[in-house]
Homo-oligomer: A and B are copies of this chain.
């Protein structure tokens, strides 16, 4: 279904869409160089904005392009350029427990249906946010509710936060579509971070979709290689 998943249904995805919203973004100053490095190191796909996909698609090489929509593409009509510019999938973000939740869900549903019409997989990034509705946004049942909502509205792949404990992702995986683990805030303790990923992958997660934890510190290529080993072979190199 989602072409960026490897044969085993697993994927290492690198997110580089941050500069549309924030700056400076240390590590992302030169997008082409970074793309080249992470693709070379084994990234299966990148999440990027419209301008980056259009202008740097050639640099992606064999990696797939997941077009982040949100502000940059708002109506169904926009999908045709998406396909034309070489996007292999589309993604929108839903933050549960926020004021914009309902609009984001409706938008996600429209995108899912529209993506089906043009034959592109839709990745729903769905993140519970600390709020009266979700006092503990990392509780396994909360994460599971998020992934199930995404599956119900038509996502082909879900990207969500790692629950606490990470093995709690098992409940979320029951939603019936592949679940990618978001990277989130830069990890202070790298070892613990990777151990958590390993635990969640063992519990059924299909892969990772990481940004700052790949390119925010030094050696993005090395980090991608470590993630690829973990995701595709289950071993930490």
Mark A residues whose CB is within 8 Å of B: 17, 19-24, 29-32, 49-52, 54-56, 71-78, 80-81, 84-85, 102, 105-106, 109-110, 112-113, 116-117, 141-142, 144-146, 148-155, 174, 176-177
Contacts and interface: CB of A to CB of B under 8 A. Distances in A.
Contact of A23 (B78, B144, B155): B144
A98 to B, nearest CB: 15
A236 to B, nearest CB: 31
9 contacts: A19-B145, A23-B142, A31-B176, A51-B150, A51-B154, A52-B151, A71-B102, A74-B110, A81-B117
Given A50-B112, A110-B74, A144-B23, A177 B55 contact: yes
Contacts of A105: 71
Copies of this protein, total? 5
A144 B17 CA distance: 16
Nearest to A68: B152
A31 B141 CA distance: 16
Given A29-B174, A55-B177, A73-B109, 19 more contacts: A17-B152, A19-B148, A19-B152, A23-B148, A23-B149, A31-B176, A49-B152, A50-B112, A50-B153, A50-B154, A51-B112, A51-B151, A51-B155, A54-B154, A55-B176, A71-B102, A72-B112, A72-B152, A73-B113
A23 B160 CA distance: 16
Contact of A52 (B22, B152, B174): B152
A20 B50 contact: no
A48 B84 CA distance: 30
A76 B76 contact: no
